[in-house]
Structure 1
Amino acid sequence: MPSVDDVASDVVLLTGQLPPNRLQRLLYYCQVWHLAWFGDTLFPEIIVANPSGPVIPSIRARIPRYTPLVASWPYGSKYRLTWKQHAMVSEIVYAYDAFDQFQLAMLCQHDGPWLAARRGLDASDTVGRIITVDLMYQCYCNYDQAV
């Protein structure tokens, strides 16, 4: 199983460069759609529902504060992904490329797993709760079957 750093490396190579929040959101969608399509996780790291959207703490920790764009990701290797995993990541990056930063942020903040994890928290509460794999699977597996 690749790490989130391996998937991030692939995403950055596919996009060229992107804002840190966009990287976080694309990694989140890679995880949820992998769960829906294949029934298992793409990477083992946790995802947290922060006020601004889904965040992978290990990714956030590697990005210096106030970094406008991530242009490379030397912490992982896209070559640790299988061909099927790389193809899926490519599809996700391509599909969500149609959304600008604001649209992608709104999409994440109206997403079922993020909303469920944030339930009961104030909008200004900076504490994030883990978005569980079960929650992502239930939401996206049901969505995938309805489409």
Structure 2
Amino acid sequence: MPVRDVAEYILRRNGEMTAMKLQKLVYYAQAWSLVWDERPLFDEKIEAWANGPVCRSLYSAHHRQFSVGPNQIKTGELDLDERATNTVHAVLSFYGDKSAQWLSDLTHLETPWVRARMRADVQDGTPSDEEILLSDMHEYYSGLVNVENNEQA
């Protein structure tokens, strides 16, 4: 499914938000889909920009807009199956009330973004179009699930 469907679903569910927050929620939806559903939620790549993960094809849909509202990314029907909507709901339940800056700061602490920035050999605040690898996302977020499961045992 296209990333624009995921983004529009998030907007219809949670309402208007900053473009930066939307990008981070889309990133976390992709990450947790890799872990919970064992599949990518969308095919477009995510890059390690200075302010955290950004999907360039989604960025082109909201370029020069500080905030984005429902029906601004895509109109009409959305192509999300039940597993996808369940994943997005879970992501919004945990991350949806966080600020854009909080989400950006969190991604800067996490291995997938850090690894991509290291591969690109760029400093903090420097632009980069280095891809955040799905394998890095799956490995890192799967590890969080395993840590949580071990703590509950």
What TM-score does the superposition give when structure 1 sets the normalisation length? 0.91
Q: Which residue of 2 aligns with 1:132?
A: 133
Residue from 52, 68, 82 that aligns with 1:70:
68
Distance 1:12 1:78, change over 3 A: farther
Percent identity, aligned pairs only, is 26
Q: Does 1:20 align with 2:19?
A: yes
Which residue pairs with 2:93 in the alignment?
94
Q: What is the CA distance between 1:74 and its match in structure 2?
A: 4.3
Distance 2:77 2:5 in 1: 5
Q: Offset at 1:77?
A: 5.5
* Distance change >3 Å, CA 7–CA 21, structure 1 → 2: same
Aligned residue runs from structure 1 range 1-147, under 5 A: 2-65=1-64, 67-72=65-70, 73-75=72-74, 79-119=78-118, 120-147=121-148
Shift of 1:75: 2.5
Shift in Å, 1:33: 0.5
Distance 1:61 1:99 in 2: 24
What is the root-mean-square deviation of aligned Cα atoms in Å? 1.6
In the aligned structure 1, how far is the partner of 2:20 from the partner of 2:66?
Answer: 10
Q: What amino acid maps onto 2:61 in structure 1?
A: R
Compared with structure 1, are the counterparts of its residues 101 and 141 closer, same or farther at alpha carbon in structure 2 (3 Å cutoff)? same
Q: Aligned partner of 1:84: which letter?
A: R
Equivalent residues, number: 145
Distance 1:123 1:42 in 2: 28
Pair 146,76 (structure 1): closer, same or farther in 2 beyond 3 Å? farther
Tell which deviates more after alignment, 78-87 or 12-21: 78-87
Q: 1:44 to 1:76 in 2, by over 3 A?
A: farther
Extract unaligned runs of 5+ from structure 1. Answer: none
Ranked by relative contact order (alpha carbons within 8 Å, sequence separation 6 or more), the top structure is 1
Cα deviations by residue, 1:93-135 (Å, 9 ceiling, x for unpaired): 1211232222112111111100111113112321221001111
Quick check: 1:31–1:41 contact (8 Å CA) kept in 2? yes
Structure 1 moving runs of 4+ over 4 Å = none
SS, match of residue 17 in structure 2: coil
* Gaps in structure 2 of 5+ consecutive residues: 149-153
Larger deviation, residues 11-20 vs 87-96: 87-96
On the 8 A contact 2:34/2:40 being kept in 1, the answer is: yes
Verify the 8 A CA contact 2:48 2:116 in the aligned structure 1. Answer: yes
Structure 2 length normalisation: TM-score?
Answer: 0.87
Question: Offset at 1:6?
Answer: 0.8
